[in-house]
Amino acid sequence: MRYGLISGENLERLEALENPYVVEIVERFVDLCEPSRVLVVTDDPEMIAYIRRMAIEKGEEMRLKMEGHTVHFDGYYDQGRDRASTAVLMPGGRKLSYGINTVDRDEGLREVLGLLKGSMRGKDLIVRFFCLGPTNSRFSIGALQLTDSYYVAHSEDLLYRSGYEQFKRLKGSKDFFTFIHSAGELDERGCSKNTDKRRIYIDLQEGKVYSVNTQYAGNSVGLKKLALRLAIYKANREDWLAEHMLIMGVRPEGKNRVTYFTGAYPSYCGKTSTAMIPGQTIVGDDLAYLRMDEEGRARAVNVESGIFGVIADVNPIDDPLIYKALTTPRELIFSNVLVADGVPYWLGMGKDDIPKRGINHSGEWWEGKRDAEGQLIPFAHPNARYTMRLKELDNVDPMLDDPEGVVVRGILYGGRDSDTNVPILEAFDWEHGVYIGATIESETTAATLDKVGVKAFNPMSNLDFMVVPLGTYITNHIRFGRRLKLCPKVYATNYFLKHEGRYTNEKVDKKIWLIWAEGRIHDEYEAIKTPVGYIPMYEDLKALFKQIFHRDYSEADYTIQFSIRVDKLLEKCARMEAIYKNEEGMPMEFWEVHSRIKKGLQTLREETGKPTVPPSYFS
């Protein structure tokens, strides 16, 4: 080890772990990345506060007018998860499933290690220890993070549980994940310069993730979606589930109970806003581990303890709890918003008086500014974010850090869908629920670096993070549910249905769909059986709209929303067949459900002769 760079208290902190694997990794990457200094950080609150101060002193964050608030800017071309540059390292040129990028492991390691060589010259290497999931729990997974970005390290302090003491509990084991990140060479604004050489490579064989020439947190904060990839690989070998899911407690008015749901939605499709529905409590908005307990129930924990949320369209009407948190003093990082006179502004925040000048992800900004390609630059990026601790929220669930997790009674799946699915639908059974998750489609958004508005296939909202064959992944979901004695009910949701070019519901209406689903779990509502699942009865929704929003809900609106769009659903069946027909190892249960739904829709089309069938037909 280059003991000239790591000595004194830093060396003592590292050696106190009594873990030769940790020491070996730190030694290797100190030698490779050539930092000027190495800082080993424990769970000590003073050290964690120091990380935030350094993020500001180094210029990676800037203080804002409100106490505790800072802002970080990523480079103009570093504003989302980079799918094209993210790949799984596979031995011997082996491939994974549809849509999953792979690179030959030997070639990929040579490339990324070459890019990391000398990447930290003139910078500090920060050695961090975190815990994925609650500490001292059967869900706990240790995470070792090496980064040269104080912004990344600060973000992780807001998003994850400190894990230095958790690493001591490993007693020298190498059963932990490792994340190596370097922002690489920086430009005059302190942003990653060589984004054409941006690489995010996942090495399943060694449980490591390499990330270089990027600062955007979705690419650089290894414990987020990068760790999810490693966890999916681990879970699918150990018979549990690692999922891209919210966890929330649903608490219907006037009833003394809480029912816990998980839910998977692609980015910018309503996942965080679902977890933040007023009157409910949030355990997590993004990542979940699910295991079966001794009584045969599914239990879930939040992998994280904070939120890295899309800020666009967060306003006091639709998202009052988040908006309050964003506009009151607390430790919080904004990224890629507009800043004018120390105040942040973002798209869709509900203000008309947006400044005409300020600072944003493009540098100095003014209304009408264009980029090098001649495109108008909005005052804030559509994928601008906020990062803060969950405990800062008024509606945080008391079970957030419970090492046993919460009992899951319902699972929600949804995407951005303007023309096909109804707002809420209950699966016939667990296998049908897995099918619903496996056939999620969503119109793409600014949360990735792809074209916007394309209908993308995204099973369980996890395709970007898939590191096992889809057949294996779906089979393990089916087996997981079959082992349970108390199996969760599964629901398909769609907040984005349009009719004649306009949304058919208001944003807040998702609360109605959720309360109905919770009531179904407790056998409080009847439902209408259709070829694709159970839908609500009009009278039940009418009563819920009146009770919750004091609003009339017309039967005409119900008919528009809950009509079965037969032709559109059959088109989706055809797309799913095209995707899955060549997928090896697909469980027969998937095809049985698919055939049953397709046949039911074809029969309905023959019976009615109509492309769309109203719910009254099934009553």
With respect to residue 592, please indicate whether it lies within any of the assigned structural domains. yes
Q: Which residues pair with 241 in a beta bridge?
A: 290
Instruction: Please name the residues in contact with 120: beta carbons below 8 A apart, sequence gap of 6 or more.
Output: 33, 34, 35, 36, 148, 182
With respect to residue 548, please indicate whether it lies within any of the assigned structural domains. yes
Burial class of 568 by CB neighbour count within 10 A (0 to 12, 13 to 18, 19+): middle
User: Which DSSP string corresponds to 547-584?
Assistant: HHH-----HHHHHHHH-EEHHHHHHHHHHHHHHHTT-T
CB-based contact 387:158 (threshold 8 Å): yes
Q: What is the pLDDT of residue 1?
A: 46
> Over 70: is that where the pLDDT of 447 sits?
no
Instruction: Please name the residues in contact with 496: beta carbons below 8 A apart, sequence gap of 6 or more.
Output: 269, 270, 415, 416, 417, 418, 443, 503
- Which residue, 614, 487, 495, is CA-closest to 563? 614
CB-based contact 88:360 (threshold 8 Å): no
Q: What is the pLDDT of residue 273?
A: 82
Q: Which residues pair with 51 in a beta bridge?
A: none
Q: What is the pLDDT of residue 429?
A: 98
What's the rounded Cα separation, in Å, for the pair 176 and 128?
13
483 with 374, same domain: the answer is no
Percent of the chain with pLDDT over 70: 97
What's the rounded Cα separation, in Å, for the pair 215 and 212?
8
Paired tokens of 255: 């009833």
Q: Which residues pair with 334 in a beta bridge?
A: 71, 386
Which of the 8 DSSP states describes residue 618? G
With respect to residue 75, please indicate whether it lies within any of the assigned structural domains. no
Residue 390 — pLDDT band, cuts 50, 70, 90?
very high
With respect to residue 478, please indicate whether it lies within any of the assigned structural domains. yes
> Over 70: is that where the pLDDT of 99 sits?
no
What's the rounded Cα separation, in Å, for the pair 375 and 358?
18
Burial class of 114 by CB neighbour count within 10 A (0 to 12, 13 to 18, 19+): middle
With respect to residue 200, please indicate whether it lies within any of the assigned structural domains. yes
Average pLDDT over residues 325-336: 97
Tell me the CATH number at 155.
3.40.449.10
Q: How many residues does the chain have?
A: 619
pLDDT digits (tens, 9 = 90+) for 406-420: 999 999 999 999 999
Percent of the chain with pLDDT over 90: 84
Domain end residue (candidates: 196, 222, 238)? 238
- The runs of H, that is alpha helices, within 298-439 are 320-326, 430-438
What's the rounded Cα separation, in Å, for the pair 86 and 272?
24
482 with 576, same domain: the answer is yes
pLDDT digits (tens, 9 = 90+) for 43-71: 999 999 999 999 999 999 999 999 999 99
Largest CA distance in the chain: 80
Q: Which residues of 416-448 are buried (b: 16+ CB within 10 A; e: fewer)?
A: bbbebbbbbbbbbebbbbbbbbbbbbbbbbbbb
149 with 162, same domain: the answer is yes
Of the candidate ranges 81-90, 93-102, 466-475, the one whose mean pLDDT is the lowest: 93-102
Q: Angle at which helices 470-483 and 588-608 pack, to 10 degrees?
A: 90
- Which residue, 218, 228, 201, is CA-closest to 74? 218
Q: How far is CA 411 from CA 434, 439, 505, in A?
A: 10, 15, 22
Domain end residue (candidates: 208, 238, 268)? 238
Q: Which residues pair with 510 in a beta bridge?
A: none
Helix (H, G, I), strand (E, B) or coil at 257: coil
Q: What is the pLDDT of residue 82?
A: 85
253 with 200, same domain: the answer is no
What's the rounded Cα separation, in Å, for the pair 100 and 84?
10
With respect to residue 66, please indicate whether it lies within any of the assigned structural domains. no
Residue 225 — pLDDT band, cuts 50, 70, 90?
confident
Average pLDDT over residues 77-84: 87
Parallel, antiparallel or unpaired: strands 357-360 and 62-63:
unpaired
Instruction: Please name the residues in contact with 212: beta carbons below 8 A apart, sequence gap of 6 or more.
Output: 112, 115, 116, 119, 181, 182, 184, 197, 198, 199
Paired tokens of 562: 């809950």
Q: What angle do CA 344, 350, 355 make, to 5 degrees?
A: 45
Q: Which residues pair with 141 in a beta bridge?
A: 132
320 with 183, same domain: the answer is no
118 with 42, same domain: the answer is yes
Domain end residue (candidates: 392, 416, 447)? 392
CB-based contact 62:339 (threshold 8 Å): yes
547 with 405, same domain: the answer is yes
Q: Which residues pair with 502 in a beta bridge?
A: 499
End-to-end CA distance of the chain: 74
- Which residue, 144, 123, 132, 130, is CA-closest to 23? 144
Q: What are phi and psi of 178, to 5 degrees?
A: -130, 140
Tell me the CATH number at 349.
2.170.8.10
130 with 118, same domain: the answer is yes
The total of structural domains in the chain comes to 3
- Residue in the block written with tokens 């069938």: 613
With respect to residue 329, please indicate whether it lies within any of the assigned structural domains. yes
For 540, left (φ over 0), alpha (ψ -120 to 50), or beta? alpha
With respect to residue 455, please indicate whether it lies within any of the assigned structural domains. yes
Q: Which of 131, 191, 269, 487 is catalytic?
A: 269
Residue 615 — pLDDT band, cuts 50, 70, 90?
very high
3-state secondary structure string, 176-205? EEEEEEECCCECCCCCECCHHHCEEEEECC
116 with 216, same domain: the answer is yes
49 with 122, same domain: the answer is yes
Of the candidate ranges 58-67, 354-363, 443-452, the one whose mean pLDDT is the lowest: 443-452
Task: Tell me the torsion sign for CA atoms 132, 136, 142, 147.
Answer: positive
> Over 80: is that where the pLDDT of 445 sits?
no
Q: How far is CA 551 from CA 140, 187, 318, 502, 542, in A?
A: 45, 54, 16, 20, 9
Paired tokens of 85: 């540059």
What's the rounded Cα separation, in Å, for the pair 331 and 328?
10
Tell me the CATH number at 276.
3.90.228.20
What's the rounded Cα separation, in Å, for the pair 603 and 595?
12
Across the chain, mean pLDDT equals 93
Q: Is 269 tagged catalytic?
A: yes
User: Which DSSP string corresponds to 339-353?
Assistant: EETTEEE-TTSS-S-
Helix (H, G, I), strand (E, B) or coil at 248: strand
Type and span of the H or E element at 612: strand 612-613
Provide the residue range defining the domain that includes 27. Answer: 8-60+84-238
What's the rounded Cα separation, in Å, for the pair 286 and 14?
31
Q: What is the pLDDT of residue 449?
A: 46
Q: What is the pLDDT of residue 93?
A: 63
pLDDT digits (tens, 9 = 90+) for 519-568: 999 999 999 999 999 999 999 999 999 999 999 999 999 999 999 999 99
pLDDT digits (tens, 9 = 90+) for 563-597: 999 999 999 999 999 999 989 899 999 999 999 99
Q: What is the pLDDT of residue 3?
A: 52
Parallel, antiparallel or unpaired: strands 102-104 and 86-90:
parallel
Other beta carbons within 10 angstroms of residue 404's beta carbon come to 14
436 with 386, same domain: the answer is no
> Over 90: is that where the pLDDT of 452 sits?
no
509 with 581, same domain: the answer is yes
Residue 500 — pLDDT band, cuts 50, 70, 90?
very high
